[in-house]
Structure 1
């Protein structure tokens, strides 16, 4: 059984979802890029999701977003379903598209964590030894200079019904700055991300050289068969963190961990009461599934530590 997770409006996350058995189903090409950008634009608008960063790798997807309305699970269900259905058509694929593991959802609790995870998302193709620099990756992505801007995509011909009004001819994907970044501080924020990205790229290139591997290159990455599987080593059952606070944040990790433990303890206590028939029990702030499926009472006053502030 998975651990309960607090879902609250205004939280910023790093999201990661992987393709089934590391198949290269999202190998970068024009059709997949169009599908990803269009479905993300439509889904984000529908659920009030602010998108900050994106990188679609051949085997997985990274997003950094802010959930303004506190409806992240609904967004993920809708968005991932559209990606899967469109991919099935484009790749003539039978069966599941996504891996059975749940989406990795990492709550970013400080500005440092947001900067680091946006840069991490951008640098992913470099860390994988696919290209030398992030801007060389041919897949759907957001670059530093695009932060705070917008991307657009026309409706894919595959899967989407042109007569259905919920699928516009063209959809714009706004690339919002994180909520804590004022418009007059946008350039400073981009520079912080650029500096962090350069650090990630340098470390990644050093590691690729240390292992004695060559860089695959954008052309060869685009020519790979989507039915092949990644063969690089990947640890099984690796850590799946719940939150991130970034480097140089003394005490922030301990406070965040304490808040997570407190939420889980309160949730389990309330659930135990619910199971024995106490329908007046109040679940802690951030309870999602029980509220949506069973209309339980939820504390609407955030307790200290429920959501760590951006510091």
Structure 2
């Protein structure tokens, strides 16, 4: 049984979803980029999700978003479904698109975590040895200079989506929002801090590449590879699925967050045991989503601070 997860209005997350068996179905080209941006814009508007960063790798997708209304599971279900069905049509792909593992959803609790994970998302093509600099990645992405102020545009893909259905407009725009933790500091501060962290990551990756005598694949080869191939690079087994991040050297924040997660899970399990015993007055902790949405269970309106 998976662990219960809090869904809190206003929380910021890094989200990662992987393609089945690391197939390169999202290999960057105009049609797949159009689908991804369009689906993201429509889904974000539908569920009031604020998008901060995006990077579509050939075998997986990264997002940094804020869930303003506490409906993240609805957004993910809708967005991932549209991407999967559109990809199946565009790639003439039979069978599942997404990996069987659950989507990775990491709540970003501090400014440091938002900066580090945003830079991590942008640096992904460099870390994978594909391009020397994040700005060179040809797939769907957000550049540092666009953070908090850029606008993504996409016309409705001709594949899969019904042009006569009003939920699929002819074209959409997606304004990139500033993360809530930076509302006081401002967009320029956010961009500068992410740029510095991205520069640190790129320098670290370049140094390691030189040490090992490795070269970057380059845009031309990345764009020419078959989307039906699979990534062959080694990958560590994903034995952990973190639920939150606080950033480097944030020991006190980590301990507070970990204690809050333990408290939530303990309260949730206690309420669930009462519910299973037939006690329909059981009160679940704030952040409970599934039981509230599908069973109308009572939920405490006091949110645990993290």
Give the drift of 1:210: 3.0
1:145 aligns with 145
Structure 1 contact 108–243 (Cα < 8 Å) conserved: yes
2:36 aligns with 36
Structure 2 contact 110–181 (Cα < 8 Å) conserved: no
2:220 aligns with 219
Give the drift of 1:184: 7.0
2:301 aligns with 300
Matches within 5 A, 1:149-188: 149-182=150-183, 185-188=186-189
Give the drift of 1:94: 0.1
Give the drift of 1:205: 1.7
How far apart in 1 are the matches of 2:46 and 2:11?
Answer: 17
Q: Secondary structure at the match of 1:66?
A: strand
Give the drift of 1:180: 2.4
1:249 aligns with 250
Instruction: Could you tell me which runs of 5 or more consecutive residues in structure 1 were left unpaired when the two chains were aligned.
Output: none
Structure 2 contact 84–97 (Cα < 8 Å) conserved: yes
2:77 aligns with 77
- Is the alpha carbon distance of 1:241 and 1:184 closer, same or farther for their aligned partners in structure 2, counting shifts above 3 Å? closer
2:261 aligns with 260
Structure 1 outlier segments of 4+, above 6 Å: none
Matches within 5 A, 1:20-169: 20-148=20-148, 149-169=150-170
Give the drift of 1:187: 1.1
Give the drift of 1:213: 2.4
Give the drift of 1:249: 2.1
Give the drift of 1:237: 3.0
Q: Secondary structure at the match of 1:251?
A: helix
Structure 1 contact 129–205 (Cα < 8 Å) conserved: no
1:6 aligns with 6
How far apart in 1 are the matches of 2:269 and 2:119?
Answer: 36
TM-score by length of 1: 0.96
How many matched pairs? 305
TM-score by length of 2: 0.97
How far apart in 2 are the matches of 1:87 and 1:193?
Answer: 31
Instruction: Could you tell me which runs of 5 or more consecutive residues in structure 2 were left unpaired when the two chains were aligned.
Output: none
Q: Secondary structure at the match of 1:141?
A: coil
Give the drift of 1:175: 0.4
How far apart in 2 are the matches of 1:184 and 1:264?
Answer: 33
Give the drift of 1:211: 3.2
